[in-house]
Amino acid sequence: LLCKNELNDTLNNLCHWMKDEHVDKNLVTQLDSAFIRKDPYGVVLIIAPWNYPIHLFLVPLIGAIAAGNCVIVKPSETSKNTERLVAEMLSCYLDSDCFAVVTAGVEETTRLLENKFDYIFFTGSPRVGRIIMTAAAKHLTPVTLELGGKNPCYVSDTCDVQNVARRVAWGRFFNAGQTCIAPDYVLCSVEMQEKLMPALREAITEFFGSNPRESPDFGRIVGDKQFRRIRALLCSGRVAIGGQTDEKERYIAPTVLADVLPSDPAMQEEIFGPILPIVVVANMDEAIDFINARPRPLAIYAFSCDSKVVKQVLERTSSGGFCGNDTLMHLTLTSLPFGGIGNSGLGKYHGKFTFDTFTHHRGCLHRNMGLEALNALRYPPYSQQKLGLLTATFEIKRKGTCTLL
């Protein structure tokens, strides 16, 4: 659905996005044509991850094609079935010279990166993001890195507990927690933790029934390595809800951990699984300090009936994006830029931002051959008079909103 939205948005607006953007002129260029030309970069590489294997290659691909580039798509080798499907399917619908799919593991991807691309779009972990950017530096290739981190979710004492529980549980357990903007952990007071627990239990039952293992709506962990990694995080705080696992099925039950400490395993890395730790803080200020002491995340969530609390958390923290009183939803608005900051990434996309990401904005000035007399002020030989005239022009201009010269 989200892909269709992006396609429709792009198809509806492409003519408008592609047009030369005429800009305001200053005094000297009044009679000229000044515009920003939208040029494609050339050959673009899109490296997609395994958690939303179609969406996360298709949405950037839409923007790259819209911007006029040729594209090489490298789907994740971890989501093998989708990888195969993309490789077979794309050539049936798109020009096979302009748009190619490369299936590759780590070694081959490293070799792929030795080639020169005109833009690289990568979605994945910060660790690999660094490797990608280092490889891009060798060719001065600009990059967009959509990475991750631990997305904090602050729940204030004044809130509708059941609604909060539902929205947080939905965001956390969607795709079995394997979502870059999933609420990674909750920060709240000890009283709120008490209230949240039964509410979360109720929400989980509402969504997945009394045995989530049998629910067709609850996912599994993508691979054995990831399963084992997430399972090891369970020894943090105490298991208040869930905690069951099955290695054969790579099933981890929707789990909530209470009284988690900042030093616990679940707080050392991005969880990327169906485990929700709750870390107790005394108040909002402590929550904000906790968040600011850590690398900037891809998303921050704050829940409160008091809009001032939500605004405070927003103003006193920094993150890729922010959603008040809900989780994940800022992703569905294509008019909002989607991207990280610091460790959680650089660059942004969705909607027009994808088009702009894959476009070189070229400043163009088309001047008149005539009216040469107007240029006289800039040519040598220079005299005190010329400088005086120049300064005088500048003085007059300062009072208005035009820029100088």
Partner 1 sequence: MERMQQVVGRARAAFNSGRCRSLEFRMQQLKALERMVQEKEKEILAAIKADLHKCGHNAYSHEILGVLGELALAMDKLPSWAAPQPVKKNLLTMRDEAYICPEPLGVVLIIGAWNYPFVLVMQPLVGAIAAGNAVVVKPSEISENTARLVADLLPQYLDRDLYPVVTGGVPETTALLTQRFDHILYTGNSTVGKIVMAAAAKHLTPVTLELGGKSPCYIDTDCDLAVACRRITWGKYMNCGQTCIAPDYILCDPSIQSKVVENIKVTLQEFYGEDVKSSPDYERIINKHHFKRILGLLEGQKIAHGGESDEASCFIAPTILTDVSAESKVMEEEIFGPVLPIVTVKSVDEAIEFINRREKPLALYVFSNNKKLIKRVISETSSGGFTGNDVIMHFFLSTLPFGGVGNSGMGAYHGKHSFETFSHRRACLIKDLKMEGTNKLRYPPGSQKKVDWAKFFLLKRFNKTRIGLIALALLGIVAAVVIKVS
What amino acid positions are annotated as catalytic residues?
146, 180
Upstream peptide bond of 183 is cis (omega within 30 degrees of 0) = no
Min. distance of Cβ 204 from partner 1 in angstroms?
Answer: 10
Residue 367 near partner 1 by CB under 8 A = yes
Q: Closest Cα partner for 172 from 242, 228, 262?
A: 242
Bridge partners of 43, per DSSP, are 70
Q: Is 41 helix (H, G, I), strand (E, B) or coil?
A: coil
Residue 177 near partner 1 by CB under 8 A = no
Residue 17 near partner 1 by CB under 8 A = no
d(CA 377, CA 365): 20
Q: Is 67 helix (H, G, I), strand (E, B) or coil?
A: coil
Residue 137 near partner 1 by CB under 8 A = yes
Which of 102, 112, 142, 259 binds partner 1 (CB under 8 A)? It is 142
Residue 318 near partner 1 by CB under 8 A = yes
d(CA 125, CA 147): 5
Alpha-carbon Rg for the chain in angstroms = 26
Q: Token match 């830029």: residue?
A: 337
Q: Residue 164 or 222: which CB sits closer to partner 1?
A: 164
Min. distance of Cβ 138 from partner 1 in angstroms?
Answer: 6
Stretch that binds partner 1, among 55-63, 83-91, 236-244, 373-381 (CB under 8 A): 373-381
| Footprint on residues 104-123 left by partner 1 (CB under 8 A) | 118
Residue 405 near partner 1 by CB under 8 A = yes
Counting every residue, how long is the chain?
405
d(CA 31, CA 156): 58
Q: Residue 228 or 362: which CB sits closer to partner 1?
A: 362
Residue 37 near partner 1 by CB under 8 A = yes
Which of 123, 255, 343, 357 binds partner 1 (CB under 8 A)? It is 343
Min. distance of Cβ 180 from partner 1 in angstroms?
Answer: 14
Q: Residue 75 or 320: which CB sits closer to partner 1?
A: 320
Min. distance of Cβ 198 from partner 1 in angstroms?
Answer: 17
Compute the C-alpha angle 168/53/15, nearest 5°.
100
Separation of CA 243 from chain center: 30
Q: Is 123 helix (H, G, I), strand (E, B) or coil?
A: strand
Residue 276 near partner 1 by CB under 8 A = no
